[in-house]
Amino acid sequence: MGQHCCETKDFDGATRGYRHALVAVIVINAAMFVVEILGGALAGSQALKADALDFLGDSLTYGLSLWVIGRSLRTRASAALLKGLSLALMGIWVLGSTIWQVWVLGVPSASIMGFIGVLALAANLASVLILLRYRDGDANVRSVWLCSRNDAIGNVAVIGAAALVAVTASPWPDLVVASLMAGLFLKSSVTIIRQSLTELRSEVSY
């Protein structure tokens, strides 16, 4: 069993099936970025805007993941490190913009939030199912899975925030969810950065 686990963690994505899965997820994320950024602006929702930014970041980093497949461990780990750092910056930006939004409070449109949130959840669940068999591997593969999982969690939170905004007529549920998503981005970035640094150190020592 231990040997099997090690072999799974060493998976570098260099298979036709994984490449095809990654391309499909890139298309899904790029399309949902456009939908959510427009929906977030229309609804005045900080949570939707945060989630849209995550879709954009995922599209770009998944493209990077696709490019480094089959390359050296150092290249793959360096790419994962870059993705981890960009995820951290995204979390900081979302947190900062949410704090700023507190000073210009306006109640977002709960109906638009809920509708776009459901669409985004469906898109992310499709991505999660596509990538489910590839959830373990090196830092590059692992980062793709974590980002997709984060998206699905974030969409559930956005839908919940929309319901609370409708009930309370308050913007605070939207802002709280945006803050929680920022925290999730930062937590995942730490996981990715740690694994990529470990792989880089092992490559140097080898």
Is residue 205 situated within a structural domain? no
pLDDT at 2 over 50: no
What pLDDT is recorded for position 186? Answer: 85
Is residue 206 situated within a structural domain? no
> Rounded distance, CA 56 to CA 49, Å?
11
Is residue 170 situated within a structural domain? yes
> Rounded distance, CA 35 to CA 195, Å?
33
Is residue 113 situated within a structural domain? yes
Binning pLDDT at 50, 70 and 90, where does residue 205 land?
A: low
Is residue 154 situated within a structural domain? yes
Binning pLDDT at 50, 70 and 90, where does residue 101 land?
A: low
Mean pLDDT of 172-177: 78
What pLDDT is recorded for position 26? Answer: 93
- Residue 7: exposed, middle, or buried by beta-carbon count in 10 A (0-12, 13-18, 19+)? exposed
pLDDT at 73 over 80: no
> Rounded distance, CA 42 to CA 63, Å?
28
pLDDT at 131 over 80: yes
Determine how many CB atoms are found less than 10 A away from the CB of residue 206: 7
Is residue 108 situated within a structural domain? yes
Work out how many domains the chain is built from and give that number: 1
> Rounded distance, CA 186 to CA 177, Å?
14
Q: Containing domain of residue 9, as a range?
A: 2-200
Is residue 58 situated within a structural domain? yes
What pLDDT is recorded for position 28? Answer: 93
Is residue 29 situated within a structural domain? yes
